[in-house]
Amino acid sequence: MSEEKYIQAGKIAAQARDLGASLVKDGTKVLDIANAIENKIKSLGGKIAFPVNISINDLAAHYTPIKNDLLTIQHDDYVKIDVGAHVDGWIADTAITIKPSGKDDLIICSEKMLENAIKIIKPGVTISEIGQVIQETAEQHGFNPINNLTGHSLDQYNLHAGISIPNIKNTSKLELQEGQVIAIEPFCTAGDGHVKDSGQAKIFMWIADKPSRLVEGRKIIELAKTEYKRLPFTIRWIPGISQLKAQIAVKQLVQAKALHEFLPLKEISGQPVAQAEHTVIVKNKPIITTKI
Ligand code: CO
């Protein structure tokens, strides 16, 4: 693993995240924020590890704007910005929640969940200990963690390298090891604390080569493998094809099991969700790559 490149990617993702956070204002277009964040990653010499997720209120994750998306930020929205950048495939993954009307208990709770989890990270700590700290912190603040969203280990060109870190008490005795790289990403809500698939997917990822009868489909598969390096991508990025044709092509590719689709995830009781996330290199003195 390349520690240096993980750290470089972390600095890039953190700056892009903070730029995005500064743009979250009443009336701003989500599309403008997404473009600013993704351009920032590129201008700092990084590559985009996944389309920036800008998920609002009870959408916990996996929303990214389409071309010409008119969605705008409202005063009391909980705006979660989840950013991924990489350098030669070494990934940084980080998220923050911003509310134009000001930080409140729900957002503070998500930040404390993350802070308390990171405090116990070191070689030998178990997945169950991390989940317990996250859940207890949520409960101390009077909220629930989202019980079916998890943190995850990272590897080169791999956003989910095998280890899941639930945000709730669990029985996993698996121990973190020196040098592992993990993204800790707690989510909290005043609702039931569970998300389900909702709406149309905007984010996709290559899983297998399958024949496509559409010329657009063949082009998308090629891009998914070469340009997007088998990492998640969005139809907003696909050049030279209308949004409608791209949407038809990706739908066919999902049905053919050539692409995986990430559906927007909605909190089941409709309550707003806050999220905080950092990428951490596990050591006795952990390195938080996405902290500035
Ligand atoms: Co993540």
CATH number where 69 lies: 3.90.230.10
Choose the catalytic residue: 93, 111, 129, 267: 93
Same domain, 153 and 218: no
Q: What is the pLDDT of residues 199-249, one digit of tens each?
A: 999 999 999 999 888 999 999 999 999 999 999 999 999 999 999 999 999
- Mark whether 152 is an active-site residue: yes
How many independent structural domains does the chain possess? Answer: 2
pLDDT value at residue 264: 98
- Mark whether 141 is an active-site residue: no
Measured in Å, residue 152 CA sits from the centre of ligand 1 at 7
Kindly indicate the confidence band of residue 40, based on its pLDDT and cuts at 50, 70 and 90: very high
Same domain, 272 and 226: no
Residue 1 has pLDDT above 90, yes or no: no
Same domain, 76 and 210: no
- Mark whether 185 is an active-site residue: yes
Same domain, 43 and 119: yes
Are 47 and 41 contacting, i.e. CB atoms less than 8 angstroms apart? yes
Ion ligand 1: residues, Cβ under 5 Å? 93, 183, 185
Kindly indicate the confidence band of residue 59, based on its pLDDT and cuts at 50, 70 and 90: very high
Same domain, 7 and 111: yes
Choose the catalytic residue: 77, 86, 129, 152: 152
Count Cα neighbours of 280 within 13 Å in the Cβ-side half-sphere. 26
pTM assigned to the model: 0.97
Measured in Å, residue 82 CA sits from the centre of ligand 1 at 8
Q: What is the largest CA-CA distance in the chain?
A: 55
- Cα(158)–Cα(26) distance, integer angstroms: 35
Same domain, 277 and 182: yes
Measured in Å, residue 227 CA sits from the centre of ligand 1 at 21
Measured in Å, residue 160 CA sits from the centre of ligand 1 at 8
Same domain, 6 and 65: yes
Same domain, 225 and 269: no
Q: What is the pLDDT of residues 123-139, one digit of tens each?
A: 999 999 999 999 999 99
Same domain, 38 and 154: yes
- Mark whether 192 is an active-site residue: no
- Cα(170)–Cα(191) distance, integer angstroms: 20
Measured in Å, residue 213 CA sits from the centre of ligand 1 at 34
- Cα(119)–Cα(117) distance, integer angstroms: 5
Measured in Å, residue 183 CA sits from the centre of ligand 1 at 5
Measured in Å, residue 284 CA sits from the centre of ligand 1 at 22
Whole-number mean pLDDT of the chain? Answer: 97
Same domain, 179 and 216: no
Same domain, 172 and 134: yes
Q: What is the pLDDT of residues 271-284, one digit of tens each?
A: 999 999 999 999 99
Same domain, 208 and 165: no
pLDDT value at residue 18: 98
Choose the catalytic residue: 160, 197, 222, 227: 160
Measured in Å, residue 33 CA sits from the centre of ligand 1 at 19
pLDDT value at residue 67: 93
Full domain range(s) for residue 96: 2-197+265-288
CA 257 to chain CA centroid, Å, is 23
Count Cα neighbours of 44 within 13 Å in the Cβ-side half-sphere. 23
pLDDT value at residue 222: 96
pLDDT value at residue 5: 98
- Mark whether 93 is an active-site residue: yes
